[in-house]
Amino acid sequence: MLDHRLSSEYEDLRRTVAAFAQDVVAPKIGAYYEERRFPYEIVAEMGRMGLFGLPFPEEYGGMGGDYFALCIALEELARVDSSVAITLEAAVSLGAMPIHRFGTEEQKREWLPKLCSGEVLGAFGLTEPGAGSDAGGTRTTAVRDGDHWVINGSKCFITNSGTDITGLVTVTAVTGRKPDGRPLISSIIVPSGTPGFTVAAPYSKVGWNASDTHELSFDDVRVPLANLVGEEGRGYAQFLRILDEGRIAIAALGTGLAQGCVDESLAYAGTRQAFGRPIGTNQVIQFKIADMETRTHMSRLAWRDAASRLLHGEPFKKEAAIAKLYSSEAAVDNAREATQIHGGYGYMNESAVGRFWRDCKILEIGEGTSEVQRMLIARELGMTS
């Protein structure tokens, strides 16, 4: 019989991260968010807790857990704030995971201990100004010159790419052509501070204001041939696998945001008085919150199902796309309703739901738009165009 309840180990982790989110993140994150500052202090505490090492083996400095554990942590963090959650998600599933999945033993021993500790953050350089959903349209190039790659091009919207503790960006670049003319796309580690590697000023974003996002440029950037991650020409396939996994993580994050909207709305509906009674006694408010809770519950079941399939070595591409699609849209719907329930207060930046409203929309865009998720689901059902 199926049992969707957490094991005691997972439940202990959930409670620990939930307490951290409430006691440490919640009191501080508003100021970071409004000032558009990266929360180094909070990130350092997350590192000491071992959150950045959750899914990695102990031999590389990790906690010996799994991807399910990471997603549990992401949901609880996003229940309070998405900037902190996306910092963890990008650092682990996008920054460190390519090295863990596809890197050489030397690369793993050089980078994973630092990444697992949270002392160093990694970034994932895929998106370009002209290649977002169509990542196969990569224009960045890497050409052999002796025992080095020479990289030229640019990347955009890259999370964790310009902090004081960013250590590397793994970028996709065209390293040659197949016989039919299609590009050979490879993954290459570019350490921070490499000459010719420039990080632009931070973006001015609608949301995720306490997370770090930049455009990157590469002007004759030279890195050793040994910085190639996996096989040459397999970078695109590798990053598709990373994105499939990352969609489960984003689904967990979206579930957390959706749950945070329920939490805040329940509390507000119980205390806000209108016409001589709490607004939560009005059926219209009760129905709104009931719908919000339903969406959150379904989102949680979806990401847990996809993560379980991943852990058991089963196909999970369709389920990851379903989870990501549903949870991101649930987060947007819940944030809209939470803002409505809170009225004018919900439109203030100082309120949690104000942050939720600003943060939710990117979930329908990042790591594959909702349109891409529908395309993937249809394709997995055997439909072609």
Tokens of 260: 């945070």
CA 170, chain centre distance (Å): 16
367 catalytic, yes or no?
Answer: yes
CA distances from 355 to 133, 245, 296, 334, 339 (A): 26, 26, 18, 13, 10
Cα dihedral across residues 258, 259, 264, 269: positive or negative: positive
Show the beta-strand stretches assigned E in the chain.
121-125, 141-145, 148-159, 166-177, 183-191, 197-199, 213-224, 228-229, 273-274, 277-278
Question: Nearest to residue 215, comparing CAs of 165, 155, 151?
Answer: 155
Given 59, 215, 367, 380, the catalytic residue: 367
Residue 110 identity (one-letter amino acid)? E
Distance (Å, whole) CA 335 – CA 312: 33
CA distances from 1 to 4, 5, 79, 371 (A): 10, 12, 30, 35
- Spatial CB neighbours of 82, under 8 Å, sequence gap ≥ 6: 207, 208, 211, 253, 256, 257, 355, 356, 359, 360
Q: Are strands 277-278 and 273-274 parallel, antiparallel or unpaired?
A: antiparallel
Active site residues: 367
